[in-house]
């Protein structure tokens, strides 16, 4: 759905060539980046930026930076000592294909490249680049961002988690980057403070919706649709929305998150059709 | 030698509190940062910056950012799938103490925090911050930086490496960050292009000197001085200067690197005593 050939072309330009040494690390980076990802975070950067009138040239590199951070997190989360996943998007995970050491380095390098890409984006004023790097770093790091979420998620595997804790985990683990991607598009598009607040609210609920539907898919989808082994959450007794609330109530929570996300957009006097379509797509996604 | 209480205090300020969740990740970060490191890279940032008249307030956060990147690389390099080290600076390595997953996350978070620290350093003009982030990212990443060096080093373990390849590995693995730390101090101090070139040359040779003496110490030092198991390079048949050249010729190479580093400083009409003392210390180091 979100695939955008401009993003694919730019990622290809930004990544080191497979022929550059160390070849194995660069192969691993490209293997993971070009693994059929949905490009959800780049789509959010671009859709939000275009909502506020920014040209694609000013958005594309930041969009790619978010995909790099996301991909680095997938590579590291899949490692044996973390979630121990052999399969992602229907293909062997990075460490299965290239070995653990190379997978760790590929993730490390992608994180570095994300920050470098924004720092060196000459389409953006330097003040904008600094704002974006700060936004991305806060969302990716700890204690408020993605790494903190993964840390909490792992601590939670050992014990029962309540609803509030589950939301705290997901707000950091997946929500923070989704919110930051959306805000980054708005920052590049020079949104007003009120507009930035509105898209932040939109993205918070979208992030929640994303996680809820992710949990639902683990229960209901086939392995073919999912590209990974379904039922894994149940098997690992992982805290999920269906485990806490049951499937029906979880579906209602998804509908509510979708509704609230879209209502946040009502506060913006801009063409928000694409952002609404993204929310619709996440609500109805099958993989 | 390079310990500087200002650096320790600032690192303590910049790192998330141990009491913030996820506590285990934050404990691991602090365990590794406050493990008695020499603070060589912060010392280079500060000494070079002060050489060009920058105040400590303008240098301290960048100095800490370099230490964060360095510490993240040590945590990840020590992992079982990488160099598999149990001991560093006389203490259990991060993954031995906190588990592999937490060690991976602690390293990831430290990398993120390094970039955030520079991006949010209000003592620096935004153009300077962007220049520093680009400098740090190029030195830390691939294909020219530290991750590339670690990748090459691991590929090299499987085969015989010649002198040129060994230098290529070390230039990236340890040299790039040493050069970038030095250049960053000069950038903050608004060095001229000629001065920047001179300190870059100084730092290149200093980086080489650092690696040569590191290899020598592995052969000659006691475990107590080293804080880790000596003889490990020989045991793992790792490419080192003593293995390629023998100890005497390696000592001569160290002396030459030291001399060339100091000669580079002759091109600067500034007080370079501290930078020379750093070179002396590295030449004569015992741990």
* Direct distance between the N- and C-terminal alpha carbons of chain A, in angstroms, rounded to an integer: 11
Which uninterrupted H or E stretch holds A113?
helix A100-119
The b/e string for A18-55 (b: 16+ C-beta within 10 A; e otherwise) is eeebbbbbbbbbbbbbebebbbbbbbbbbbbbbbbebe
Give residue A228's pLDDT.
61
- Give which of B23, B137, B180 to mutate to test A binding, by max A Cβ within 10 Å: B137
Kindly list the residues from chain B whose CB atom is less than 8 angstroms away from the CB atom of residue A111: 108, 111-112
Closest by Cβ to B143, choosing from A21, A148, A152: A21
Residues of chain B positioned with their CB less than 8 A from the CB of A138: 116
Q: Tell me the pLDDT tens digit for each residue of B100-122.
A: 999 999 999 999 999 999 999 99
Per cent of chain B over pLDDT 90 is 85
B-interface mutation test, from A69, A96, A108, most B Cβ less than 10 A away: A108
On chain B, the residues whose CB falls within 8 A of the CB of A25 are 142, 147-148, 151
Cβ(A116)–Cβ(A137) under 8 Å? no
Could you give the ipTM of this predicted complex?
Answer: 0.96
- The pLDDT, as a whole number, for residue A168 is 93
Residue A203 has a pLDDT of: 98
Interatomic CA distance for residues A29 and A177, integer angstroms = 20
Residues of chain A with pLDDT under 70: 1, 3, 222-237
**Structure confidence at residue A45 (pLDDT):** 98
Q: B235: pLDDT confidence band, cut at 50, 70 and 90?
A: low
Give all domains of chain A, ordered by start, each with its CATH number.
5-283 (1.10.600.10)
% of chain A with per-residue pLDDT over 70: 93
Model pLDDT, residue A236? 61
Among A71, A116, A117, A127, pick the best mutation site for testing chain B contact (most B Cβ within 10 A): A116
Residue A89 is predicted with a pLDDT of 85
| Minimum-distance CB partner of A105 among B102, B116, B151 | B151
pLDDT for res B227 = 61
Please name the residue of chain B whose CA is at the shortest distance from the CA of residue A165: B21
- The pTM of this model reads 0.96
Task: Give φ, ψ of A206 to 5 degrees.
Answer: -65, -40
Mean pLDDT over B186-200 rounds to: 98
User: Per-residue pLDDT averaged across B144-166, rounded?
Assistant: 90
pLDDT in tens, B209-234: 999 999 999 888 765 555 666 666 65
Q: Does A141 sit within 8 Å of B116, measured CB to CB?
A: yes
């Amino acid at each position: 759905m979100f695939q955008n050939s401009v993003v694919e072309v730019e990622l290809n330009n930004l990544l080191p060539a497979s022929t550059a040494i160390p070849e194995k690390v660069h192969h691993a980076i490209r293997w993971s980046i070009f693994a059929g990802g949905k490009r959800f975070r780049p789509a959010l950067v671009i859709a939000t930026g275009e909502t506020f009138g920014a040209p694609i040239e000013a958005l594309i590199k930041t969009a790619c930076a978010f995909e790099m951070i996301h991909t680095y997190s997938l590579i590291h989360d899949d490692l044996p000592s973390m979630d121990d996943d052999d399969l992602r998007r229907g293909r062997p995970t990075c460490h299965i294909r290239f070995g653990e050491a190379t997978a760790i380095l590929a993730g490390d390098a992608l994180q570095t490249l994300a920050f470098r890409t924004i720092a060196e984006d000459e389409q953006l004023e330097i003040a904008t680049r600094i704002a974006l790097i700060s936004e991305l770093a806060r969302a990716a790091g700890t204690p408020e961002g993605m790494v903190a979420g993964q840390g909490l998620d792992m601590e939670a595997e050992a014990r029962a988690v309540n609803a509030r804790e589950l939301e705290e985990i997901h707000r950091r683990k997946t929500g923070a980057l989704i919110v930051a991607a959306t805000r980054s598009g708005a920052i590049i598009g020079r949104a007003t403070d009120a507009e930035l607040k509105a898209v932040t609210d939109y993205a918070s609920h979208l992030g929640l919706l994303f996680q809820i539907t992710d949990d639902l898919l683990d229960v209901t989808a086939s392995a073919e649709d999912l590209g990974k082994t379904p039922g894994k959450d149940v098997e690992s007794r992982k805290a999920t929305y269906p485990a806490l609330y049951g499937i029906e109530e979880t579906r209602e929570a998804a509908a509510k998150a979708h509704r609230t996300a879209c209502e946040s957009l009502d506060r913006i006097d801009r063409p928000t059709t694409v952002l609404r379509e993204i929310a619709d797509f996440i609500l109805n996604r099958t993989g």
